[in-house]
Amino acid sequence: MAVTSQPAVPVADPEGRIALQRWLDGPHVEARDLVRDWLSDPDHAPRPDLEMAEHRELVLAWTKDLAASGGTSMGFPLKYGGAGDTAGFVSAFETLAMGDLSLLVKVGVQFGLWGGAVLQLGTERHHEAYLRDTMSVALPGCFAMTETGHGSNVQQLETTAVYDEATDEWVVTTPHEAARKEWIGNAACHGRIAAVFAQLSTKGEEHGVHAFVVPLRDEQGETLPGIRIEDLGAKLGLDGVDNGLIWFDEVRIPRENLLDRYAQVDRTGTYSSEIENPNKRFFTMLGTLIQGRVSVCGAAINATKVAQVIAVRHAETRHQFGPPGEPEVAIMDYRTHQRRLLPDIAKTYALHAAQETMVAELDAIFSGPASDEDVERRRKLETVAAGMKAIGTEHATNTIQECREACGGAGYLRANRFAALKADTDVFTTFEGDNTVLLQQAAKNLLTNYASEVGDLDPVGLASFFVGQAWETITEKTAIREALSRLADSVRDEEADLLDRDTQLDLLCWRADHLLETAAKRLKGGADEGLNAFDVLNRCQDHVVEVGRAFVDHLALKAFSERVAGCEDEHLRPILEKLVDMYALSVIEAERGWFQEHGRLSSTRSKAVTKAVNQLCDELREHAALLTEAYGVPETAFGDAHRVSQPADR
């Protein structure tokens, strides 16, 4: 089957496409365009034909070139050559996901993880020592947190950093094989230094996990004494990223290499911190690294956009069958094809809007002056970021597969980009936190109303909290009953218009609140039955995960509807309003069994939801190309073939 390189599918209203792209780009157009311009250079196009070693070296060269263009430094302070613009950096990073995703991850490791750890966990001396060379990539760095034996449960990492008073040094050690650092980006080939997370011990007392700067290689790239590094080798995808394993054999580093923004150790080995509670200190430290989850979510959404552009272009140009005696019709005209693509496009827009809101909050917290409200705001942002990262990356995995199938055999060709999109985004569901764990974390925060007394991420810590709480306290913290009372009448109304925005919002809000309330009841009930803390939560885990999922469904609809309400373009707004309807009703349709079980939709109303989604497919079909071309994906991002289609000649 021939696959040709042809121009993009024409959009009837090019001015409308540009206007919609600018509406989507939001307040950080310059940051997004800077990356789009860089990606548009043919020398920066994805290369699916490279061997792993060659791919890694090309990605390193690209990273340095992008750094020289200013596309990676905007999140760093002005003092060191940055722009102090956290939101601009995240917006640029998201856009980079339209190109080679190995480059995206390399940039994320160098500037977001290693550079972010130094910036957020270090103090002035660390900034002076490392940030300039980090920004120029003269000092490639690593973020060494995950271990073979511990991933999500960061508090139980087993690498140790013991203070030696005699030499004024930390001794960093991998005590056994399961404590080796695993999946460390930049480690196998290029990294010369790492932010290593280890259990801090001084004067015979342990103080929990802290971050330390540990050199790995000299300027010639030779591994330093006491350091052992192995290449993880070929992966399912992202071959341009040199992931590795690291062991430390009593590696000595200066005391000043502790990243000591939140805790200090003086020459005598005395430990001190302004945050007395160890759990609060630990989660404050991790909270500063939340930008990683926010960025991964945005990257997943933008990679999804590439797949959707390819699929819609194919659907608009591929013709099959048709009425007897008449020409074949574009497969985009078929209801089944519309059903495959349009609801997912609506969800991409909704998640894009929610992501934009989340990035604005991240920027407000990290770019503005510190305030007493920061702790609570960060906990709320952690909840949103955990849920959004889980749903955003899940959406990418599911939608890219759907788009691949919608392109038939053409989608199976490596040149048409789906092989890389599928393989390279697959790991998004597990890095920066496994999605199932993150949904539970989001639910945990909701169930405790961000309670400061909840310290552990592990199931026992969460369940123990509920064992010791009265039901009245739980309901007071979550304020569920008031919300349920307020919503019940409107949701039960069988005459409520399914296209009414308040009705849609109320249904999704009611589901989120009801799941939250009943999860709390089940947890409390298990404690009352005398079950141990672990079993209490373990038997409710499926329920708790749904709490996180429903939370994001409502969050995305709210953000999308508010964003569209502010659209002043009289031509675009009606289209966008239909897209909001599509998102809301497709979520309700997917959960219509649950709504019926809980008396919120009758069978008649449930059928009406499906009918409404079908009607929206008819109404949005003519705008499919407009909606996807407005993503602004550079043509170089579509691989050697640029599009999947049959030759247009007939």
Q: Write a three-state SS string for 334-377.
A: CHHHHHHHHHHHHHHHHHHHHHHHHHHHHHHHHHCCCCCCHHHH
107-127 residues labelled b (16+ CB within 10 A) or e (exposed) = bbbbbbbbbbbbbbbbeeebb
Residue 564 falls inside a structural domain: yes
pLDDT the model gives residue 463 = 53
Fill in the amino acid letter for 393.
Answer: T
Total number of domains in the chain? 2
Domain boundary among 278, 303, 331: 278
**Confidence bin at 453 (pLDDT 50/70/90):** very low
Q: How far apart are CA 180 and CA 511, in angstroms?
A: 43
Residue 21 falls inside a structural domain: no
CATH code for the domain in which residue 230 is found = 2.40.110.10
**pLDDT tens-digit readout, 104-118:** 999 999 999 999 999
The whole-number average pLDDT for the span 603-612 is 94
Kindly give the residue spans of alpha helices, DSSP state H, lying in 448-500: 459-467, 471-478, 480-492
Q: Which residues are within 8 A (CB) of 118 and not within 5 positions of it... i.e. 6 or more apart? A: 126, 127, 130, 131, 134, 141, 195, 213, 259
Indicate the pairing of strand 251-254 with strand 264-265: unpaired
pLDDT the model gives residue 465 = 53
Q: How far apart are CA 180 and CA 229, in angstroms?
A: 10
More confident position, 48 or 548: 548
Spacing of C-alpha 88 from chain mean position: 16
pLDDT the model gives residue 464 = 55
Are the beta carbons of 381 and 289 closer than 8 angstroms? no
Q: How far apart are CA 170 and CA 191, in angstroms?
A: 21
Indicate the pairing of strand 160-164 with strand 181-184: unpaired
Q: How many CA atoms lie within 13 A of 161 on its CB side?
A: 28
Lowest mean pLDDT among 153-162, 279-288, 551-560: 279-288
Residue 539 falls inside a structural domain: yes
**pLDDT tens-digit readout, 293-302:** 999 999 999 9
3-state SS, residue 489: helix
- 63, two tokens: 């990273």
Handedness of CA 429, 430, 431, 435 (dihedral sign): positive
Partners of residue 5 on adjacent β-strands:
none
Lowest mean pLDDT among 143-152, 483-492, 624-633: 483-492
Q: How far apart are CA 332 and CA 316, in angstroms?
A: 6
Q: Which residues are within 8 A (CB) of 627 and not within 5 positions of it... i.e. 6 or more apart? A: 20, 312, 345, 349, 575, 579, 620
Handedness of CA 466, 467, 469, 470 (dihedral sign): positive
Kindly give the residue spans of alpha helices, DSSP state H, lying in 414-567: 418-426, 435-447, 459-467, 471-478, 480-492, 501-528, 533-538, 541-565
**What is the DSSP code string of 240-300?**
TS--EEEEESSEEEEGGGB--SS-EE-TT--EE-S--SHHHHHHHHHHTTTHHHHHHHHHH
Handedness of CA 19, 20, 21, 25 (dihedral sign): positive
Residue 24 falls inside a structural domain: no
CA distances from 493 to 322, 498, 507, 583, 603 (A): 42, 11, 11, 21, 14
Q: Is the pLDDT of residue 3 over 50?
A: no
Most confident residue range from 422-436, 550-564, 634-648: 550-564
Q: How far apart are CA 580 and CA 13, in angstroms?
A: 21
The whole-number average pLDDT for the span 630-650 is 68
Residue 529: count other Cβ atoms within 10 Å of its Cβ.
9
pLDDT-above-90 percentage for the chain? 72
pLDDT the model gives residue 649 = 44
- 225, two tokens: 């004494």
Most confident residue range from 284-288, 326-330, 341-345: 341-345
Domain boundary among 247, 278, 309: 278
pLDDT the model gives residue 368 = 62
CA distances from 329 to 322, 362, 443 (A): 5, 47, 47
**Confidence bin at 521 (pLDDT 50/70/90):** confident
Q: How far apart are CA 26 and CA 349, in angstroms?
A: 12
Residue 540 falls inside a structural domain: yes
- 627, two tokens: 């909606």
More confident position, 375 or 605: 605
CATH code for the domain in which residue 622 is found = 1.20.140.10
3-state SS, residue 199: strand
Question: Average pLDDT over the chain, rounded to whole?
Answer: 88
Q: How far apart are CA 341 and CA 350, in angstroms?
A: 15
The whole-number average pLDDT for the span 150-171 is 92
Enclosing domain of residue 189:
141-278
Q: How far apart are CA 619 and CA 596, in angstroms?
A: 27
pLDDT the model gives residue 365 = 87
3-state SS, residue 148: coil
Q: How far apart are CA 217 and CA 221, in angstroms?
A: 5
Q: Is the pLDDT of residue 266 over 70?
A: yes
Q: How far apart are CA 119 and CA 112, in angstroms?
A: 10
Q: How far apart are CA 353 and CA 563, in angstroms?
A: 7
Q: Which residues are within 8 A (CB) of 267 and not within 5 positions of it... i.e. 6 or more apart? A: 168, 255
Are the beta carbons of 391 and 351 closer than 8 angstroms? yes
Domain boundary among 278, 312, 338: 278
Residue 296 falls inside a structural domain: no
Residue 584 falls inside a structural domain: yes
- 650, two tokens: 């007939």
pLDDT the model gives residue 415 = 86
Are the beta carbons of 455 and 410 closer than 8 angstroms? no
CA distances from 67 to 41, 125, 229 (A): 15, 23, 26
Residue 392 falls inside a structural domain: no
